[in-house]
Structure formats: C-alpha cells, structure tokens
Amino acid sequence: MGTFFSEPGWLCLTVTAVLGGTILCKLKTSPGQVGRKVVCLAGLWGGACLISLSLFWGLVLFSLSYFIMYTYFSGQELLPVDQKAVLITGCDSGFGHGLAKYLDELGFTVFAGVLDEQGSGAEELRRTCSKHLSVLQLNITNTQEIQEAYSKVKEKVQNKGGVPMQKMAAYGSSKAALIMFSSILRQELSKWGVKVSVIQPGGFKTNISGTSQMWETLERTVLDNLSPEVQEDYGQDYILSERSLLRLMKTCTDPDISPVLLDVRHAISAQSPFAFYAPGKLSYPWLCFASFSPTGIFDYLSRKIHSYDKKMPRVLSTSNWENEAM
C-alpha cells in the first residue's frame, strides 16, 4: 500500500492514464479491427505485470507497454486519398462490389474490374458511383483483357503519383496459394518500396454460396457425370444433403462487410500497413488456434462445429463396409 501512494506510484498511474487516453483517441481515427486487438493484448500483458510483480514495477511495465503502443500507432496515421488510384477485381458482386463503392465514397480513383461489364453489378456501379470510378472488363484469366485493362489504367493515371474448412477444399487451396504468393511478393518487392498486404476475412455473406437454382443445376450436373461406382458408394441422398452447407452459409455469415472495407482502407492508406489482416468476429483467434493447436484438438473441434452434417456416404452407413474393404 505504501508503494501505491508513493510519488513513483502516482506518476506511473498518471502516465498510464494519459497514454491510454491518447491511444483510445487514436483508435477512433484508425479504421479496422487490428488496432483494437493489439491494445487488448497490451492490456492483458500489463494486467499480468500488475498481478505477477510488485505494484511499482508492474505499473512501470504497464506504462511502458502503452508507450510502445503509442509509438506503434504513430505509424498508422492514414495518408490522404487525393489522387490515389486503386484497381479492384471481382466487382460484379460481393466484397469487390462493396469495396469499389466504399473507396469511391472516400475519394479514391477506382478501377472496378468485372467479369461482365454489361451485367447488373457493373451497371449499378456506373449508376451510383462518382466519375472517379471506371468499370473495366477484366477476367484475370484472360491475357487480352488484362492488357486492355492495363492500357486503360495507364492512360488515366499516367499524369498522377499513384483456416482449413470442410467442403472448402478447392476454394481454400486457391486462397492458401494466394496468401503464400502474396507473402513472397511482399518480401521480394520490399526493396522497391512496394508494400503487400493479405486480407483474410472471416464469415461474411457474399454471393459465393450461390442461389438455390444454381445449386439445383450443380446437383443435377454432378449426379449426371458421376460414375456408377461413385454414385453407389456415396449415394444420392448424401450428395443432395450437401445443400445443408448453403443453408449454413446463409444463416451463420455476417451481412455487414464493413470490417473488411475498413481493413482494406487501412491497408491502402496507412503509412505502415500491416502484412496481414483478419477482419470478422473471432477470425484472428481462430486462425491462431488452427496454426498452433495440436492437430487432434483442432480436428475434434472442427467435427463439433460441423455437427450439422450428420449424413454418411451410403457405403459407410452399411454394417459390413469394413469387411468389404478388406
């Protein structure tokens, strides 16, 4: 108690309060969720110091942690968007569509690449956005369209300074490859002063899940093209039960994509953008858990999370399948 009421104790409390208030003020002007997570970690670390050490030294380290956070956030000030150009792919719908609108409202020069420049998504962008947004026909698998888009962007800006999830094997693999590609690109381009950031969102509601009509067509296509042996092993009931994933994605995903937009804004506007962003509820803790937890524990929890999927392939539901396999 004597240490608490001593001059050093009061000084540490004062410094902590001032730095904490300053950081909270900075958070109001810093978009995205990463800063809040960092401050929470600093608070937890400071709290551990207070518990494990004497009051005086605990307050010293607690104040030091907030000083480090203050220094850290000094490099997170957002730069002005005037005359900054951004190229976005996949703007027909989903994240790309929402991001194009959001950055246009902020004043960026936006090049919105779409798969169909005559489609409803492209028409909506032309109708609702400012003259600073340009819609580009851009299929990233089409070399000619990439070259044409490059020429249009160059012409307009030349005079300005410019977690494993079940049933997601193909999608997850492509994103894992993109993350590795971006990570290597970040290292290779750093000597040129080019910054590369990866944004890995959690569960948000986009058009990736498709519609009931699309799933009916896909189911019919799958059933018509499967070999008799595969259909016999899996069974039609099991294949059709995969539609439960569509219902899950519609009910359990967040329709508010603003956390993604805020993190993208930070990545393209901050003086020192982060290398990795994970917007969405519990997305960052879940990624950390998937990376560092024992495989057995992760697989067990994953099975619990996917407990909605109780259907078994036909051959596994029979009593003598193990004997047949032998």
- The residue annotated as part of the active site, out of 150, 171, 300, 308, is 171
What single-letter DSSP state applies at residue 80? P
Work out the widest C-alpha separation in the chain, in whole angstroms.
83
The reply to whether 102 belongs to the active site is no
CA distance 302 to 290: 10
**Which residues have a Cβ under 8 Å from the Cβ of 128 and sit 6 or more positions away?**
101
Amino acid letter, residue 150: Y
Q: Nearest CA to 303 among 166, 171, 170?
A: 166
Token look-up 């009593």 returns: 319
Two tokens, residue 280: 């969405």
Exposure class string for 224-246: b at 16+ Cβ within 10 A, else e: eeeeeeeeeebbeebbeeeeebe
**Residues with catalytic roles:** 171
